[in-house]
Amino acid sequence: MSVLTPARPAPPARTLPRSSWQTTSVQVILFALLAASIWSIASLKINLATFVDSIDNAADFIGRIFPLDFPPIGELAAMTGQTLGIVLCATVLSVVLSVPVALAAAANTTPGQTLRLPARVIITVTRAIPELVLAILFLRLFGLGAIGGILALGIHSIGMIGKLYADAVEDTDPGPRDALRAAGASWWQQIVGGVVPQAMPAFVATALHRFDINLRASVILGYVGVSGIGLELSAALRTMNYQRGMALALFLVALCIVVELISGALRKMILGDRTPVRRTLWSRLRDRLWSAQNGWVDGGNTARPAPTALRTADGNYRISPPWNGERIRRTVYVVLFVVALIVSTWASDIDLSRMAEGFGSMASTLSLFFPPSTGGIGAELWKQLLVTLQIALAATFIGLIVAVPVGLLAARNVAPTPGIAKGFRMFIVLVRGIPDLIFAIIVIVVTGLGATAGAIALSVGAIGLLSKLIADSVEETDVRVQHAVAAGGATRMQVLLAATVRQSGPAIIAHIFYQIDTNIRAATLLGVVGAGGLGFYLMNAARVMQYDVVTMVVVMIFAVVMVVEGMAMWVRKVVS
């Protein structure tokens, strides 16, 4: 007789009804965001007339970038290797630092608040401080080069990786850890043997996703002196050498898309295809009968060997997995990763003596950043904070308008045919592969300096991210609800609105708040290239070494981000 795994328990029913004031409050918040977004678009003058007036500039710009001037292949390869080396070292550093932070922040590995609260604070603070500001600090400490970029990207990434790792740890099955505890294992042995193996696929997938993000973020760090493609790109555009600048930008876009496709394939290989399979009652009964006859364990969707498959030929249990194709493949991946990390560390040319000197002067350097000060331009900073919010809201709204139909058509359970879904998925990958900074540079040249260019550039990036998130949320809906509505005679559009969109609605609302949060940070960074907002004053303060003003800008952005995040958490709690 086979052993069937128990079905996942249904989520507990809501014990208290959602109060009317909560529902009304959420509706008021969403309506206020809509009104503020429309006001922002009008205030920034994002309209058809703006694009019509810029047609001549666009034609002139196109004429000035051709023929593209690519660097010699050897120089281009060296820049690419240096950029990828910085990104890989930064991602590995963030993973190493995030694992203990995540274990301390997870409720099932650290029950008390003594360690959990500081860990959550670390995750929040590192996520709120822009990598550009961290790069300014580390370049002040260690000078120009790769080390400032590695530390800036690595520490900033803890905010995202630490949070997702903590969530993965909390989602692990307590059974293996309880078994190890009953056998007398120490806390560390329980974590290594019962928690980490379960969370490892999510750990690796998150690291690959963060690598993609760090590659795009490395571009803007070139504007403050971090070596790599970003530094050469900023130098070319600063001297208005658009032929070389756009050639580097085009190469960088292609590099980001290739890396995105490779990491996406690796994530799918690690996590498997999570697309829900529509199985009939007969197919489930047939699988269970086949499993019982062949001695397999039925896990609901797939069949896997019973524990007896781990015995050796003489009947003893194995203490290590056999050297089959899967284990050999994993070993090859690990070896390739180690080699790539060694090469990246060597290519980054990390000077340990200079690092020691920098850490020795950290106290005096940090004193330049504190206490925060407005530098006599407080009124202008508050005005630009409002402009930054306008850029973020306008970009999110424009991106959402386009992302809804694109995301729906990219969902495999909504698209009319699989080919349409794959086509829109490819479109999303192409859009997401282009860094926001590249869009901003092109739009600035065409429309001129200012917040309008920043909002247009960020709206394109929002299309890519929101489309992907919406498509994923729609694919995760329960198809049985859709079948039930369709069985009642509903049309395809009625099924979409009444079943699919209604189920994914809370997730989509959460994605909108996340995009606003992301755009607030991004709007600050795009100000570096003249796209309006606080970033312009942040960069100017760094150039004239008014580091106390840099800190004030960070504090202002941090406060706004915390308000948005708190509002998002409350709305998600009400609508879920």
CATH number at residue 204: 1.10.3720.10
Give the pLDDT of residue 12.
45
Q: Let me know whether 342 and 447 are in one domain.
A: no
Is the predicted pLDDT of residue 264 greater than 80, yes or no? no
179 CB-side CA count, 13 A: 6
Mean pLDDT comparison of 58-67, 109-118, 276-285, 299-308, highest-scoring range: 109-118
Q: Let me know whether 266 and 129 are in one domain.
A: yes
Residue 135 lies in a domain: yes
Tell me which of 76 and 47 has the higher pLDDT.
76
Mean pLDDT comparison of 57-61, 174-178, 297-301, 448-452, highest-scoring range: 174-178
Q: Let me know whether 232 and 357 are in one domain.
A: yes
366-412 pLDDT, tens digit each: 888 888 998 888 889 999 999 999 999 999 999 999 999 999 889 88
Is the predicted pLDDT of residue 300 greater than 70, yes or no? no
Domain with 33 in it:
18-53+391-576
Query: Is 412 buried (19+), middle (13-18) or exposed (0-12) by CB count in 10 A?
Result: middle
Would you state the structure tokens that stand for residue 129, as one six-digit string? 């401080």
Is the predicted pLDDT of residue 16 greater than 70, yes or no? no
Give the pLDDT of residue 576.
67
Q: Which amino acid makes up residue 378? A: G
Q: Is-above-0.85 flag for pTM?
A: no
* Mean pLDDT value of segment 1-23: 50
* Mean pLDDT value of segment 102-114: 87
Taking a C-beta distance cutoff of 8 angstroms, is the pair 320, 330 a contact? no
Q: Let me know whether 425 and 522 are in one domain.
A: yes
* Mean pLDDT value of segment 415-421: 87
186-213 pLDDT, tens digit each: 888 889 888 988 888 889 888 988 998 8
Residue 306 lies in a domain: no
Residue 226 lies in a domain: yes
Is the predicted pLDDT of residue 339 greater than 70, yes or no? yes
Residue 316 lies in a domain: no
In this structure, how many other beta carbons lie within 10 angstroms of the beta carbon of residue 216? 23
Residue 23 lies in a domain: yes
Tell me which of 392 and 281 has the higher pLDDT.
392
Place of tokens 């007339």: 49
Q: Provide, rounded to the nearest whole percent, the portion of the chain with pLDDT above 70.
A: 88
Q: Let me know whether 119 and 254 are in one domain.
A: yes
Q: Let me know whether 455 and 576 are in one domain.
A: yes
CA 348, CA 338: separation in Å to the nearest integer?
15
Q: What is the DSSP letter of 416?
A: S
Structural domain count, the chain? 2
In this structure, how many other beta carbons lie within 10 angstroms of the beta carbon of residue 369? 19
Any idea which of 34-43, 165-174, 281-290 has the lowest mean pLDDT? 281-290
Question: Chain-wide mean pLDDT for the chain?
Answer: 81
Q: Let me know whether 267 and 118 are in one domain.
A: yes
Is the predicted pLDDT of residue 294 greater than 80, yes or no? no
Give the pLDDT of residue 55.
79
* Mean pLDDT value of segment 152-168: 91
Band (275; pLDDT cuts 50, 70, 90):
very low
Query: Is 80 buried (19+), middle (13-18) or exposed (0-12) by CB count in 10 A?
Result: middle
Is the predicted pLDDT of residue 5 greater than 60, yes or no? no
